[in-house]
Amino acid sequence: MVVVAFIAVSGGYFAAMYLGGDSGQQDYSPLSEAMAVNQSEDLLGQRRPDFELIDMNGAAVSAADFDGQIMLVNFWATWCKPCTEEMPMLVRLQNSYAGRGVRVVGIALDDPHKAREFAANLGINYPILVGTTDTVLTGRRYGNRSGMLPYSVLVDAGGIVRWLYLGALNQEELEVQIKSLL
């Protein structure tokens, strides 16, 4: 019965978030915390999965391109309200920590043209990789079993997954996680 209720709540959240419903809530944290149990905790402490995706200019980018850096992988889409709301914070974070070996990498489940236009308008200063099925599969390999967005994974400079987070990021909590890896 608990599983059925969880599935119903998850489906309602998906419908509200992706199909245009608006509950008036700006903070998705409580549901995100509930959804975290559906994420692949067994990925923590393991080597990050590899990927090869296309950036907004059509160039291939792999996870190995970021070896030796702390990498925050952020899965997002232009149509995902909490995703777009957290992006200015990610731009500021990239500005603050780039000199200390931290790299934000956005992976957009989106049309490349829409993602490129959105990134340009927002002044995004970190790599954005785009795609459809390939980005969903990458998200699953990175532990996002629910397929919901936003979803973030923090990987240390040695390539080990250290933190998984489903939902809009909290800057203070994220900075605590990053500072623990510096």
The residue with greater pLDDT, 80 or 2, is 80
Percent of the chain residues topping a pLDDT of 70: 78
Total number of domains constituting the chain: 1
Find the mean pLDDT for residues 110-138: 94
What is the residue range of 80's domain? 2-179
| Amino acid letter, 31 | L
What is residue 75's predicted lDDT score, i.e. its pLDDT?
Answer: 98
Q: Residue 160 is part of a domain; what is its CATH number? A: 3.40.30.10
pLDDT band at 109 (very low <50, low <70, confident <90, very high): very high
φ, ψ for residue 55, nearest 5 deg: -85, 180
> Would the pLDDT of 152 be above 90?
yes
The residue with greater pLDDT, 2 or 95, is 95
pTM for the structure as a whole: 0.79
Apex CA 105: angle with CA 24 and CA 182, to 5°? 105
Q: How far is the C-alpha of 96 from the C-alpha of 179, rounded, in Å?
A: 12
Q: How far is the C-alpha of 35 from the C-alpha of 53, rounded, in Å?
A: 26
13-22, long-range: CB < 8 A, 24+ apart:
13/148, 14/148, 17/80, 17/81, 17/82, 17/148, 18/79, 18/80
> Could you please report the per-residue DSSP string of 69-132?
SEEEEEEE-TT-HHHHHHHHHHHHHHHHHGGGTEEEEEEEES-HHHHHHHHHHHT--S-EEEES
Based on the number of CB atoms within 10 Å of its own CB, is 89 exposed (0-12), middle (13-18) or buried (19 or more)? middle
What is residue 27's predicted lDDT score, i.e. its pLDDT?
Answer: 36
> Would the pLDDT of 62 be above 60?
yes
